[in-house]
Structures are given as structure tokens and as C-alpha cells.
Amino acid sequence: MNMDKTTATRWPLCLSLLAPLFLSACSGGSSSGATGDTSDTTAPTVTSTSPLSGATAVARNSTLTATFNEDIFATTVDASSFTLAKSGSGTTSGTVSFDGVDNVASLAPDNSLAALATYTATLTTAITDLSGNALAANVSWSFTTADGAWGSAALIETDNTGIAYQPQIAVDSSGNALVVCGNPMAPALTSWPTALTATVGAAPY
């Protein structure tokens, strides 16, 4: 094939312009293992917690939550990076979960917390955002639980046509209820207690 002088000059020029594009495409992806937007170097922050820091009379069956200001790498939120400890005792066991839609970490204690006790929740720097940025420092907050005492019984029914005579109910600070009523059908049994555990959506008694 015959090429004139002008054509022969254009080919090297075109190749020199296209070479950087090919090199850039071939080098896409990093061998460093970094994920997410590497231009983001800002540490995530906690915008709110529940219970609030310093809260008192906290229900002993509460689930703790912490909300972040940005998307968090969900697998970094677990039982080792989100903990709860009673003052003077070890870590309180519980189930940790993460809501990636609202960026909320939750810790549900396995058992009811102790009455009138101070607890401290901690989020560690093992928690990172999607770019690998960790919390700048551990985030901790403390609260005190309720006393667990029962409130005064209140009459909840005056219709005594059934077998339950003048039923009364008392509720503690965690929402548990205690029902006491008389039984006119059995004079030897003047009353009996029934404990009702607090349940979301449960019908009142």
C-alpha cells in the first residue's frame, strides 16, 4: 500500500494521542484492595443515640440504637464493635444488627437489664464507612435504668358480671403488667395475680 507523506505523518500522531486512553482503561481498578470512593477521607460520625447519654429511668427491656451520618460498611458493625457494659461488671450479651437504609445500628440485650444500674454503650473505631474511613475515636454514652418497682394498682373494670371481680392492674417502668382480681365463684380464692409481659401491639387488659 502506498502512503503519501501526509498520511505517513498522521499515523504516529494518532497513535500518540490514543495511547494514554488505552493505558488509562487498562489500569482501571486498584491493586491496593481499597473500596468505595477513595476521594472520601472524612470519618463517619454518630448523630444520635437511644437512650440519650445521661438518660435515667430507662426501661430495662430497651433496645439501644445509634444513627450514623452516612452509609456504613455493615459487616463492621457487630458484637465486638458495638458493646454494652454494666458499671463494675463485664460486657452484657446481646444481638447486634444494622439497618443499611437508615444507617442505624441496634443492640438488643439478651436479658432484661438490672434495675437502677448504670450502663455504658460503646461503638469502636472498627466501624467504617464505605470508603474505609473509621470512626475518629470510640463513641460511648451512659444511662441509668429504671427501678423496676410496680406502680399503684388501678381499677380497670366495674362490671362484675363475670368471674373476675373488680380486676386491677399495675404496670412497671418497662411496661410489664400485673393484674389482680377477686373470684366470687370460689370464696376460698380471694384473688390471684397474673403477670403480663409488655408486648408491642398487645391488647390491653
8 A C-beta contact, residue 74 and residue 44: no
* 38, part of any domain: no
Whether residues 50 and 138 share a domain: the answer is yes
Q: Which residues partner with 123 through β-bridges?
A: 82, 139
User: What does pLDDT average to in each consecutive run of 10 residues of the chain (205 residues)?
Assistant: 52 50 41 57 98 96 97 97 95 97 98 95 98 98 89 64 62 66 55 48 40
Whether residues 185 and 158 share a domain: the answer is yes
Residue 5: other Cβ atoms inside 10 A: 6
Whether residues 139 and 181 share a domain: the answer is no
Whether residues 174 and 139 share a domain: the answer is no
Whether residues 107 and 138 share a domain: the answer is yes
The per-residue pLDDT for 105 is 98
The per-residue pLDDT for 45 is 98
Q: How far apart are CA 177 and CA 33, in angstroms?
A: 54
Which structural domain range is residue 174 located in?
154-196
Tell me the residue type at 78.
D
C-alpha cell at 31: 491493586
The per-residue pLDDT for 69 is 98
The per-residue pLDDT for 36 is 57
Which CATH number do you get for residue 118? 2.60.40.1220
Whether residues 164 and 189 share a domain: the answer is yes
Looking at the 3D structure of the chain, how many domains does it have? 2
Q: How far apart are CA 13 and CA 18, in angstroms?
A: 9
Q: How far apart are CA 166 and CA 159, in angstroms?
A: 7
Whether residues 109 and 137 share a domain: the answer is yes
Whether residues 60 and 110 share a domain: the answer is yes
